[in-house]
Amino acid sequence: MSSAPEQGAVQQARAMGRGTTERPAPTVHGNGRAAPRAARARPVWPGAPTPLGARFRVGPDGVAGTNFALWAGGAEAVELCLFDAGQVETRCPLTELTHEIWHGFVPGVRPGQRYGYRVHGRWDPWTGARWNPAKLLLDPYARAVDGGPDNDYGRLPPEVYGHVRDWPQQHVADTVRDDRDSAPFVPKGVVVHDDAPDDEWTDDRRPKTPWADSVIYELHVRGFTKRHPGVPEELRGTYAGLAHPAALDHLVRLGVTAVELLPVHQFAHEDHLLRRGLRNYWGYNSIGYFAPHAAYAASGTRGEQVGEFKRMVRALHEAGIEVILDVVYNHTAEAGELGPMLSLKGIDNRGYYRLQQNDARRYADYTGCGNTLQVVQPHVLRLITDSLRYWVSEMGVDGFRFDLAAALARSFHDVDMLSPFLAVIAQDPVLRRVKLIAEPWDVGSGGYQVGAFPPLWTEWNDRYRGAVRDFWRGALPDVRDLGYRLSGSSDLYAWGGRRPYASVNFVTAHDGFTLRDLVSYERKHNEANGEGNRDGSDDNRAWNCGAEGETDDADVTALRRRQLRNLLTTLLLSTGVPMLVAGDEMGRTQRGSNNAYCQDNEISWVDWSLREEPGWRELFALTSRLIGLRLRHPVLRRRAFFSGRAHSADGLRDLAWFTADGREMTEADWYAPAATLGMYLSGRDIPGRDALGLPIVDESFLAVLHADGEPTAFALPGPPWAESYEVVVDTALEDQAAPPGTVHGAGEVVTVAGRSVVLLRVTGN
């Protein structure tokens, strides 16, 4: 029940004709201006309801033109709006309606044409109806986007809102319709020429790296090359910049097999950021699921961005590197009821978004971003799957990481692993063959779903992140959890045919501290975001090694660099799929920010000068060597879980755990605090066969992880485990360019330096 003041405001709004179930007469509030309009409409032929979007083709009688098709459930009328170079608008009514799809063929419309839609219907926010023909709407299927309100800093114009944004009584502002024309201020779709069919993206042109052999490198298209001295200045921060040989050389030298690109779907900047002179840098605010983000294109925004993106993918493939997109299908840039009207909200608000069950004026928000897409609706599910197939089949990408994937798996309220979204993906002949990564949580009730996604899916494993961070900062009460994480997290994924590579292991991600900051700061420092340092997580599980932030203390600096070597070595020796974050391999810092989502500047951009500094150059060398070691040794990237059982008469098991005194761990040891852990990986009996059907046999390794600050004595296990050992990696050493090569006999007691990892190769069994 509304309070008396709210009831009065609602009555006032309704009295003005903007809250009723009838369309009010068009009016203009304030000093709004309308886009110029052409005097003569273009001819519109019936066209076809499929495919959705704008598709250039040859029409009847051999006439070239573009077919436009828009799903707009419940709409009363749809106008196609074409814009020339001078922003003159021509409105073309679409009179054909097939299964709620409005469609028409416009002869003479060619690639490069900018367009949008005006959708007519009821304005009745209390029932979720928010149609407003004064607002130009972006085609959800637009393959390229040009222009928009986020090209310059400053507030979003009030015209881009379907309601009167600055209505004096804000608690009912969303119910008062704004009839000012938004066309001059909003992004337009661009008609794009479809490439002729060829074998560009056939399987034999893709790297097709098996999951178990993958090493993922998370990067930001703009931030990765924005400061790269080897990339021409005009290409920095673009798709073409990432495809430049100087950028590719770093990836190849490092040895990663896939890049995971932060969102490249067309996105918009939030008003609250623009007011503070900031921008959405990460891009988790999508508004166009088919369009490469135009601001990352060096070649132009009238369709040129599509070709540039394809050339980038081709260059990465030729370098043997797969392309995975971080995609945001859980919400859009239109936010909640007080957000702008850019696309779906004005096409069919009730059809595209989840609304609250008992108050259709409000949005159900499982994402923390104001709205949640209604994935259970067939047309929304079609939008998502059509988009995914497009990026695979026509843009050449190799997989997807789904932001807040639990929100996509919700049926009506609860997360459901038999949901329509997951079911459709599982049977789709295109999508079930690509890499699928879930961020297995959202912000709603029951949204944390780590370990719950079905086969075909891998998951970001934040339990791995927590366990490894805790161990190296000395906060793990016992080593049970660490043991599971190092060996593939069988407690989470050994069901339903899932494999160790279901776990994407990571210590850092775009969200949170960089690796260098993880060992340099214990508290977040997000003041530059303008939110009073209230944003970002307080649960960092970080240790600053004795000083907060940058320091000239040589001992602290040396310890921090050792901790970096420890964390990277642990990650790359663990069973599962490792993920690195761009710049961590050479000490990138965000100056203590753990939420740099709005920092499109040197805080977020990769600092390539670090690669020339001796200490950071050595960190890169170690990372590259560890990746190479991993790719050469199948025992480090197993395709099946360890059994822990003996596979031969001598009692040698495929996985064994040792205490510092050289004995195998007991059940009691797993539940006791421990700073030292020995992990034996046997290469003798690796499940599976190679491509020729032969058994897979590898060398065996012993990894000793020691998190205490003081050195410890470690007794190397004797037969049947080994006769002797050779040191391959010792993170206590500053120079990691070459393996130490020291040989030790079985049973020998060796000294392991404080806070270090020693990897030994078995040489005598």
How far is 297 from 742, CA to CA, in rounded Å? 51
- In residues, how long is the chain? 765
Hey, what are 135's tokens? 């607002």
Asked if 367 contacts 330 with a C-beta cutoff of 8 angstroms, the reply is: yes
Q: Which amino acid is at 611?
A: R
- Please provide residue 638's backbone torsions phi and psi, each rounded to the nearest 5 degrees: -60, 150
DSSP string, 135-175: S-B--TT-S-EE--TTSSSSPPPGGGSSB-TT-SSGGGGGG
Query: What is the SS3 string spanning 293-357?
Result: CHHHCCCCCCCHHHHHHHHHHHHHHHCCCEEEEEECCCCCCCCCCCCCCCCHHHHHHHHHECEEC
Asked if 380 contacts 368 with a C-beta cutoff of 8 angstroms, the reply is: no
Q: Which active-site residues does the annotation give?
A: 403, 439
How far is 82 from 90, CA to CA, in rounded Å? 5
How does strand 322-327 pair with strand 399-402? parallel
CA-closest candidate to residue 763, choices 733, 749, 742: 742
What does each C-alpha distance from 555 to 6, 10, 73, 523 come to in angstroms? 63, 66, 66, 21
How far is 191 from 189, CA to CA, in rounded Å? 7
CA-closest candidate to residue 765, choices 697, 663, 671: 697
The single residue listed with the structure tokens 């007011």 is 275
Widest distance between CA atoms in the chain: 92
Give the rounded distance of the alpha carbon of 398 from its chain centre. 14
Measured over the CA atoms of residue 399, residue 404, residue 405 and residue 408, the dihedral's sign is negative
Asked if 466 contacts 509 with a C-beta cutoff of 8 angstroms, the reply is: no
Task: Give the DSSP letter of residue 133.
Answer: T
Buried b (16+ CB within 10 A) or exposed e, 218-240: bbbbbbbbbebeebeeebbbbbb
Task: Give the DSSP letter of residue 186.
Answer: S
CA-closest candidate to residue 337, choices 177, 156, 188: 177
Query: What is the SS3 string spanning 686-709?
Result: EEEECCCCCEECCCCEEEEEECCC
Q: Which amino acid is at 179?
A: D
DSSP string, 407-431: HHTBSSSSB-TT-HHHHHHHH-TTG
- Residue 507 burial by CB count (10 A; 0-12/13-18/19+): exposed, middle or buried? buried
Measured over the CA atoms of residue 164, residue 168, residue 169 and residue 170, the dihedral's sign is positive
How far is 754 from 660, CA to CA, in rounded Å? 13
Asked if 149 contacts 117 with a C-beta cutoff of 8 angstroms, the reply is: no
CA-closest candidate to residue 517, choices 563, 458, 460: 563
Neighbours of 77 (CB within 10 A): 16
How far is 136 from 139, CA to CA, in rounded Å? 10
How far is 644 from 659, CA to CA, in rounded Å? 16
All residues at 6 or more sequence positions from 62 whose CB lies less than 8 Å from its CB, including other chains: none
Residue 467's DSSP bridge partners are none
The single residue listed with the structure tokens 């540039």 is 308
What does each C-alpha distance from 66 to 94, 115, 226, 493 come to in angstroms? 13, 11, 37, 48
